[in-house]
């Protein structure tokens, strides 16, 4: 009986998480996810009703952080990175104040293009 209650609670919590993740999605202003160092990118949290209370977060080799914490500029549900660096390579997603998360996007940043050798 105890195991059944635990499984029911787990199923309920999983269903809440799944319904939350479908409400908001992370959208890039570009159709690509690979960038050269020095280019710009804007990531937006889009929701059918209202995306207030959501922010863009990322996990890079350096750390886990949100837009505005040493990278990007947050404005109107969007995070603008004006000059992307190789160190910005990582996984990006939208996250609510309550901890619900959207699906994620892997961004890869390569070094600058060299026109001569």
Number of compact structural domains in the chain: 1
Distance of CA 46 to the CA centre of its chain: 11
Provide the pLDDT for residue 16. 47
| Contact by Cβ (8 Å): 66, 95 | yes
Residue 69 lies in a domain: yes
Is the residue at 43 inside a domain?
Answer: yes
Residue 70, domain member (yes or no): yes
In a domain, 58, yes or no: yes
Tokens for 62, please give them. 């350096």
Is 94 a domain residue? yes
CA distances from 15 to 19, 21, 27, 86, 108 (A): 6, 10, 24, 37, 31
Whether 104 is in a domain gets the answer yes
Interval 70-96: pLDDT, tens: 999 999 889 999 999 999 999 999 999
How far apart are alpha carbons 18 and 103 in whole angstroms?
Answer: 10
CATH code, domain with 7:
2.60.40.10
- Evaluate if pTM is beyond 0.85: no
Whole-number Å distance between alpha carbons of 65 and 53: 16
């Amino acid at each position: 009986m105890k195991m059944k209650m635990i499984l029911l609670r787990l199923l309920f919590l999983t269903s809440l998480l799944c319904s939350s993740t479908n409400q908001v999605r992370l959208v890039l202003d570009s159709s690509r996810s690979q960038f050269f160092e020095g280019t710009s990118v804007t990531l937006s949290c889009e929701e059918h009703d209202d995306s207030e209370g959501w922010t863009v977060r990322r996990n890079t080799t350096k750390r886990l952080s949100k837009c505005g914490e040493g990278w990007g500029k947050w404005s109107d549900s969007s995070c603008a990175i004006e000059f992307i660096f190789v160190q910005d390579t990582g996984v990006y997603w939208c996250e609510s104040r309550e901890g619900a998360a959207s699906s994620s996007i892997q961004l890869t940043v390569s070094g600058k293009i060299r026109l001569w050798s």
